[in-house]
Amino acid sequence: MTRKSETMNASVSADDVRVRGVVDYNAIDWRKVDHTVRRLQARIVKAQRQGRYGKVRSLSRVLTRSFAARAAAVRRVTSNRGKRTPGVDGQRWITAAEKAQAIESLRPEGYKGCPLIS
């Protein structure tokens, strides 16, 4: 029998995949990551439809700061056709260690977009 707190807190955290304080990219449970991100996105859509804009903002903040969303973002950009092409920042994440470092380095605090050079 599972406790209520265990079933309600089934989200993915960095503590689940840490080895000696470093994220182990190969140990990430991607089904759990996808489920967590989809559940948060569904809650945002539901709040938007109900006109609860404060809730939308709050949930959006939770999503962008979550380990699952950062892991899903890194996985998405490193598994598509252009995965070996660097972006505007000139970075490429090829090895599992680089991908794990990227997950840790993605933080919304202090982010300032780079201007596009045309």
pLDDT grade, residue 2 (50/70/90)? very low
CB crowding 42-55: b at 16 or more within 10 Å, else e: ebbeebeeeeeeee
Q: Taking the CB of residue 80, how many other CB atoms lie within 10 A of it?
A: 9
Q: What are the residues whose beta carbons fall under 8 Å from the beta carbon of 85, sequence distance 6 or more? A: 92
Nearest alpha-carbon partner for 67 in 24, 5, 8, 15: 15
Cα angle 6-8-10, degrees, rounded to a multiple of 5: 70
Span of 50-59, 68-77, 85-94, 103-112 with lowest mean pLDDT: 103-112
The residue among 63 and 91 whose pLDDT is bigger is: 63
Global confidence as pTM? 0.73
The residue among 111 and 52 whose pLDDT is bigger is: 52
Per-residue pLDDT tens over the stretch 12-60: 665 566 655 678 899 899 999 999 999 999 999 999 999 999 999 999 9
Average pLDDT over the chain reads 82
For the cut 60, the answer to whether the pLDDT of residue 6 exceeds it is no
Domain assignments of the chain as residue spans, ordered by start: 11-85+92-105
Q: What are the residues whose beta carbons fall under 8 Å from the beta carbon of 60, sequence distance 6 or more? A: 44
Per-residue pLDDT tens over the stretch 59-75: 999 998 899 999 999 99
